[in-house]
Structure 1
Amino acid sequence: MGKSVILVGCGNMGYAMLKGWIASGKLVPADVNVVEPNEALRARAQELGVTTVEDASDLASGDLIVFAVKPQVMGKIVPAYQRFEDATFVSVAAGTGVATFTEILGPSSAVIRCMPNTPAAIGKGMMVVFANGNVKPAMLDFVKALLATSGEVTMIDSEELMDAVTAVSGSGPAYIFHFIECLTSAGEKAGLPAETAKLLAMQTVWGAACLAKESGEEPGLLREQVTSPNGTTAAALSVFMDQHELEELVGKAVAAAKKRSMELGQ
């Protein structure tokens, strides 16, 4: 018999994770109970074959409890799970620290905090994990295997790093989307039809990211390989890299996101 999982909240992120768990075979529908007050979201989850309930009152047990709800409602929802003393708890809520859970669930509770990002919805997310000292190695491996169905998984050994994680991968997709917007606009200004400019921008960003990930080469070396001396790419990069302006701008953006993450976590 596999481990029993309770998924608390089945909105976009929760549903995306649930689909990955079932489709990958990491879990079978009988292993999962979904707690979701919204009738339409419950119905959507039921189509995957899992058991759904409106609240946690009828649930007798669970080895793993995954909270996929908004941070502002966490304080109201978590207390209902205090009775699951032997369970491991996972949170995918931004800005909600492990201490929030141990204060409610007790100091001996096993808590894992995960920062996903929106590409997890299509199985290409970045899932960053921190576990407190009460989490058993076997359960941590199980959780990492579940999260891997939504994308890449990596561990950090200090929860303080979560603010930096939020600023880079948590918020990062929005930075890339904005770059696509800018590259599309620039293409239009250069004379391309709007749809062609958008296709070129999206495919170029996607293809370059795939090449950077799959080639095994450092991004800087890949940049050099595509940059002929005195060529078109060199002309463009001279604008991006003049006095490290792009590097400084990105640094300022990440620093601002990290600062805001720290503020929201207080």
Structure 2
Amino acid sequence: MGSGQKVAASAANTVKRVHLELGGKAPVVVFDDADLEAAAKGVRSAGFWNGGQECGSACRVLVHESVAKQFTELLVREVSEISVGTPGTGDDVEIGSMISKAHSQRVLAALDDVRKDGLTIAVGGNAIEGPGYFIEPTVVTDVPAGAAITSTEIFGPVVSVETFSTDEEAITRANETPYELAASVWTTNSARSLSAPRRLDFGTVWVNSHLVIANEMPWGGFKGSGYGRDLSVYALEDFSRTKHVMYNHG
């Protein structure tokens, strides 16, 4: 977000338009009637794709308290099976390294903060020994409302899990983030699948999936996630200037 603010401030000097596609802290709202196994597999895929170095990453799970234990067990099992490695080391490798040493150090520093906050690391949480900047796929559980990890973008292979009691609480807390790029809702209730996305204030909201990008649909966020749209006709308009020429035929 900070880099985007500097770009916007610099552009203001010459009144240039800018397109800011910035960070995210995508909530994954898992209701009590969700297909928990599908949700766990969805987070495995969307939370750790590109090693979590993805602005729409499914990095913040809010799960109903009645199914939290079962869901967390499923998620930890899924994440513990993720294979980490370099390209070409095997067809089973799912994720690679952090993009740089500096970024790897930032992610590890965030995990140190998690430990200092007394949160539970259910799986992962460490650098992988050997060459390269590899970090274990990590799940942080029993996260209380308002914890730093719920709003700070780590941009690495780290997913947090917190619980909620009511639909109202889930929506309110999901919206309490400086970023509003993407979110997902997991439910088998058709009414809830319509009402919850309407109330989630994010540029993209998926239902029973996450990080599925369609070229013909716009991609971009609100608030700290910036403005402007990639993909679709909205992006063509965003990157175009409109000019009007009018003739008097009198």
Which is greater in Rg? 1
Which structure has more RCO (C-alpha within 8 Å, separation ≥ 6)? 2
More helix by share: 1
TM-score in same-fold range (> 0.5): no
How high is the TM-score relative to the length of structure 1? Answer: 0.30
How high is the TM-score relative to the length of structure 2? Answer: 0.31
